[in-house]
Structures are given as structure tokens and as C-alpha cells.
């Protein structure tokens, strides 16, 4: 069976629930497991970009691809980490709302832009870091994804945000924009084992969503919140802290649920074949997409 690049959007229109932290650390942990990963930062705040150690640069983002002035392969940047690449964000990305609004094909724009890297099939995973909004860019991004991963903070109003996401998934399926879209899973973040509220919320979410909820939960952890100011994923900044441990466990669970070529090559095991270096991957991507 041919297993292609999995495109997963990490989204929740609620702000500050751990979307970017999850993208950065899931990507880092997967890359350590020798999966080739591309992070695309779609948030003009550029937190995923800086969290992976890069500075935003004008003209280097998905934006020029959306307006058709650049090829996506030319926007892929290596990070300091093997197997981990990023298409950074820039402030111009916020202008894409206006550009896209006027286009009849707006819901298909992101899908069309991503098609070249999907076809090249050089990445195991493409992780899309979405902004905390429900704008056109976000909707077009969800229309381009195979699945949506929703990070959710274990707090009282968490379920409301999830309802909005589910509604959006159903609408994108029903109107034909993305008939195959699925809720890939729900990840509980910033879990605080000492509070009754955290435990109650998790129980309620599990009752409603059953197996869609990942077994792994990410604890609230100071090292995890410090790591971005050093421009590093916590799994590299402090590999032994509880946050790093949790994100590694989550990456394993995620990879099990989302098999790719790397998994298929070595059934039931971590792949042992050396994966290509980030730059080599980028070259291949450039060649194949050009």
C-alpha cells in the first residue's frame, strides 16, 4: 500500500491552548524518531517559526505562494534539527485574508499550493500551525488537511471551542470542500493533576469523544513554557523534563495512529534506516516540485 504524506492541521479557534507548543514539539519529537517533518507556520504571530529557532523574514512564508508569486519548494527552510523543516510565517500573511476573500477558489487555495509537496511525497508529516481565528486562511487550511488535531486545555469552557471545530469539519465535508476531512484527535494540554477541574474536564471530553482523545496528556510544565524564549522545542531544550517526556510519548502515539512510509518500512518498530538530512530533503523537494 502506498502511504503518502499526512497533512495535519493543528487548530482550535480558542487562543493560548497549546497549538504552537504542540506543533513545535510534535514536529521535534517526530524528527527524532526519524520521520521527515515540515512545519508550516500560518500564524502571523510567527511563534512556531521563532520556537524552531528561525527569525521571520519578509517574503519567506506561504503568503507569496498563496498569491502565486513563489513556488512552495523555495519557501522550505531547514531548521537546526535534522529531518525538521519549516515554512516560516511573516506579518504579510495577515493580508492574505483580504486577498483570499475576493477569490472564487478561496477554499481550494491552500490545497492547491500544498499539492506540489504532497506529490513529491518527501515528507512523512506536514504540520500546519493555525492562528486562533476562523478566518478564510484558516478555513482554506482546514480544507487542505487530511485531519485536524485539536489541542485542548483542560478548563471549563474547553468543550465550547471543540463544538465550533466539529461544526466546521462537518460543514467542510458537507459542502464538498474536503469530503475526507476527519477529526484526527484531541490532545489535552496544560493538564494539572492537582486540580479536580482538570480531571473533570478530561472525563467529560473522554465521555463525549471516546477514542478520539489521545491517551497521552501534556502536563503544565515550566520548562515547556520557557523553551520558546530560547528558540528551542522543549524536547531539545530539556529532554528530561516532564513536558518533553509527554511530547515524546504523544509523538509515538500520534505516529502509531498516523502511519507513514517510515512506519511501513519497519513494521511494529521504530524505523532504523537513516533518514535524509534536512538539506537533502529540501533539495529533493526542490527538484521534484520545480
Q: Which is closer to Mg ion, CB of 47 or CB of 260?
A: 47
Residues 121-180 that bind ligand ATP (CB under 6 A): 132
Residues 182-201 that bind ligand ATP (CB under 6 A): 189-190
Cα distances (angstroms) measured from residue 70 to each of 54, 61, 218, 289: 20, 10, 37, 12
Work out whether 21 is an interface residue with Mg ion (CB under 5 A): no
* Segment contacting ligand ATP by CB under 6 A, of 34-42, 53-61, 220-228, 266-274: 220-228
Could you tell me the three cell numbers for 288?
A: 521534484
For 8-56, give the DSSP string: EEE--SSTTSSHHHHHHHHHHHHHHTT--EEEEE--TT-HHHHHTT---
CA distance 5 to 36: 10
- What, of Mg ion, ligand ATP, none, does residue 57 touch, CB below 5 to 8 Å by kind? none
* Segment contacting ligand ATP by CB under 6 A, of 76-84, 165-173, 213-221, 259-267: 213-221
H helices of 41-147, in order, are 47-51, 63-66, 96-101, 109-120, 136-144
Work out whether 17 is an interface residue with ligand ATP (CB under 6 A): yes
Cα distances (angstroms) measured from residue 45 to each of 41, 56, 91, 238: 9, 10, 7, 24
* Segment contacting Mg ion by CB under 5 A, of 19-27, 49-57, 146-154, 266-274: 19-27
**Site size for ligand ATP, by CB under 6 A?**
19
Work out whether 13 is an interface residue with Mg ion (CB under 5 A): no
Work out whether 218 is an interface residue with ligand ATP (CB under 6 A): yes
Chosen residue from 5, 6, 7, 18 binding ligand ATP by CB under 6 A: 18
In the complex, what is the shortest distance from the CB of residue 130 to ligand ATP, in angstroms, rounded to a whole number?
8
Work out whether 41 is an interface residue with ligand ATP (CB under 6 A): no
- 3-state DSSP assignment of residue 139: helix
- What, of Mg ion, ligand ATP, none, does residue 228 touch, CB below 5 to 8 Å by kind? ligand ATP
Which H or E run contains 285? helix 278-289
- 3-state DSSP assignment of residue 218: strand
The 8-class DSSP code of residue 228 comes to G
CA distance 288 to 281: 10
Chosen residue from 12, 20, 89, 92 binding Mg ion by CB under 5 A: 20
* Binding interface with ligand ATP (CB under 6 A): 15-21, 43, 47, 132, 189-190, 218, 220-221, 224-225, 228, 243
Amino acid at each position: 500500500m502506498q502511504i503518502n504524506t499526512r497533512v495535519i492541521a493543528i487548530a482550535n479557534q480558542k487562543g493560548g491552548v497549546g497549538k504552537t507548543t504542540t506543533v513545535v514539539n510534535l514536529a521535534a519529537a517526530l524528527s527524532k524518531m526519524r520521520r521527515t517533518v515540515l512545519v508550516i507556520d500560518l500564524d502571523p504571530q510567527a511563534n512556531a517559526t521563532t520556537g524552531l529557532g528561525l527569525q521571520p523574514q519578509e517574503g519567506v512564508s506561504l503568503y507569496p505562494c498563496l498569491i502565486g508569486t513563489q513556488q512552495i519548494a523555495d519557501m522550505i527552510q531547514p531548521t537546526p534539527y535534522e529531518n525538521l523543516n519549516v515554512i516560516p510565517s511573516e506579518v504579510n500573511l495577515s493580508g492574505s485574508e483580504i486577498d483570499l476573500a475576493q477569490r472564487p477558489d478561496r477554499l481550494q487555495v491552500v490545497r492547491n499550493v500544498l499539492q506540489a509537496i504532497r506529490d513529491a511525497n518527501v515528507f512523512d508529516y506536514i504540520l500546519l500551525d493555525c492562528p486562533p481565528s476562523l478566518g478564510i486562511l484558516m478555513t482554506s487550511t482546514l480544507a487542505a488537511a487530511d485531519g485536524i488535531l485539536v489541542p485542548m486545555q483542560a478548563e471549563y469552557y474547553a468543550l465550547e471551542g471543540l463544538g465550533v471545530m466539529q461544526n466546521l469539519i462537518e460543514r467542510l465535508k458537507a459542502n464538498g470542500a474536503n469530503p475526507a476531512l476527519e477529526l484526527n484527535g484531541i490532545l489535552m494540554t496544560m493538564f494539572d493533576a492537582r486540580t479536580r477541574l482538570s480531571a473533570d474536564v478530561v472525563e467529560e471530553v473522554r465521555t463525549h469523544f471516546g477514542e478520539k482523545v489521545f491517551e497521552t496528556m501534556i502536563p503544565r510544565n515550566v520548562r515547556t513554557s520557557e523553551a520558546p524564549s530560547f528558540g528551542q522545542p522543549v524536547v531539545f531544550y530539556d529532554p528530561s523534563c516532564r513536558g518533553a517526556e509527554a511530547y515524546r510519548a504523544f509523538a509515538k502515539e500520534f505516529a502509531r495512529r498516523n502511519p507513514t512510509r517510515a512506519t511501513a518500512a519497519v513494521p511494529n518498530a521504530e524505523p532504523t534506516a537513516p533518514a535524509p538530512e534536512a538539506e537533502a530533503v529540501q533539495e529533493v523537494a526542490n527538484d521534484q516540485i520545480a
